[in-house]
Structure 1
């Protein structure tokens, strides 16, 4: 659980740093494409620092997924929105309402309950078809992200956010299905391809959703997609369990943590250039 919370801290802090860099890069004027904006942003140290934190967070996530059930890791990763809210309050001087501070407390309470109730990770590998199902899901999310601009405007952000959540969920499950890091084993394992495609597709879908619609809807969809589905896979097929007699506490903790994260969904939004204080602009 410590590794899962470390991943949440890394991802949540990276979101703020990359948000500042991305919006600062968008102040050059003109109608520019995604590639140009990315090249502008990646030249800023805050964006690079955010990428480094993402990489560190991924290592923490892998370590957590190899030690505790997927449902606990998923809820902890959803709490990265609470980290984003707290970091944004300090770094960007964003004002949090009493309700939002309460939501941060709710997330922490839910994670505490999960920590008490969580058992060890399951020892089952799941059905043989699971690896191919993951790869198929990853490819579907990739197609969704590539065609995000063609979706109806109404509900587009929520659909793309949910797709991104499924992509991140594929990564969570795929990590559990990779038993060997030997190159000869990885090239024959569909789960390895699902991990790569799922992660890339998730970022693509989320970027498209955040750029073209309601950030709150996209972030809420992502939180639901990356927690509920993987948790179900872990319990049904991979053997994830709770401590004896504490199933109800794990369910309660999971629901409480996710509900608190959804209440903080607006902190998935990058601040506008006008909202970024002078002290943190490049």
Structure 2
């Protein structure tokens, strides 16, 4: 759980640091459109630090997924929105309303419940059918991302956000389906390709969603997609369980933490952001 929370802190802080770098790059001028802003941002220490935090967050996420049920890790990663909100209120001078501060507290309470009730990761090995299913989902997410510009305007953000969430969810499940890191085993495991394709496809879908739709709707849909689906896969197919007699507390903690994250969905893209997980450039889960 420490690794899962550490990943959330890394992803949430990375979003704000990259937002600050993007603001500064935009203020410099110089033209070049979004590509020019990105190139100027890449020369700033804040953006590079954000990328470093994204990388560290992904490593911590993998470690957490190797020890905890997927439902606990997914809910913890959704709490990165709470981290972004708190850090943005300090560094970007974003004003948090009472309801949003309350949502931060709700997220913390939900995670505390999960920390108490979560058992160890399931001991069931993933079948070949599940591995190929994850690869199929990743391909579907890629298709939705590529078709983002042609989707009907109404509901576009919702569809793309859900697709991004499913892509990040594929990454969470695929980590559990990779038993060996030897090169021959990795190359022969469909889960390896599902992980890589799912992360890239999720990034594409989320980027399209944030450019063409509501940030709040897309981020809320992403949170639902990357938490509920993978949690069900972990419980039904991988044997994830809670501590004896505490299933009710785990369910309550999961619902509470995800609900709190949804209230903070507008922080899925920090003001003028250009990166971070849940921002225009995704780390961690992808």
| TM interval, short-chain normalised | over 0.9
Offset of residue 30 of structure 1: 5.9
Offset of residue 213 of structure 1: 1.4
Deviates more, 1:258-267 or 1:18-27: 18-27
Offset of residue 25 of structure 1: 3.8
Q: Retained in 1: the 8 A contact 2:22–2:272?
A: no
**What are the Cα deviations for residues 229-282 of structure 1, in whole angstroms up to 9, with x where unaligned?**
000000000000001111111000000000000000011123149xxxxxxxxx
Counterpart Cα distance in 2 of 1:160 and 1:35: 22
Aligned positions of 1:102-181 closer than 5 A: 102-181=102-181
Counterpart Cα distance in 1 of 2:249 and 2:58: 27
Which residue matches 1:269? 269
Counterpart Cα distance in 2 of 1:156 and 1:24: 30
Which residue matches 2:219? 219
Counterpart Cα distance in 2 of 1:92 and 1:264: 16
Gaps of 5+ in 1: 274-282
Which residue matches 1:96? 96
Q: Retained in 2: the 8 A contact 1:21–1:41?
A: yes
Deviates more, 1:123-132 or 1:22-31: 22-31
Which residue matches 1:245? 245
Counterpart Cα distance in 1 of 2:146 and 2:111: 35
Offset of residue 20 of structure 1: 2.5
Counterpart Cα distance in 1 of 2:206 and 2:24: 19
Equivalenced residues, count: 272
Q: Retained in 2: the 8 A contact 1:23–1:270?
A: no
Counterpart Cα distance in 2 of 1:247 and 1:59: 28
**What are the Cα deviations for residues 40-76 of structure 1, in whole angstroms up to 9, with x where unaligned?**
3323222211111000000000000000100000000
Gaps of 5+ in 2: 274-286
TM-score using structure 1 length: 0.92
Deviation beyond 6 Å, 4+ runs, structure 1: none
Q: Retained in 2: the 8 A contact 1:122–1:239?
A: yes
C-alpha RMSD over aligned residues: 1.6
Offset of residue 209 of structure 1: 0.8
Counterpart Cα distance in 2 of 1:227 and 1:99: 23
3-state secondary structure, aligned to 1:249? helix
Q: Retained in 2: the 8 A contact 1:18–1:46?
A: yes
Residues 41 and 149 of structure 1: is their aligned pair in 2 closer, same or farther, counting only changes over 3 Å? farther
3-state secondary structure, aligned to 2:11? helix
TM-score using structure 2 length: 0.91
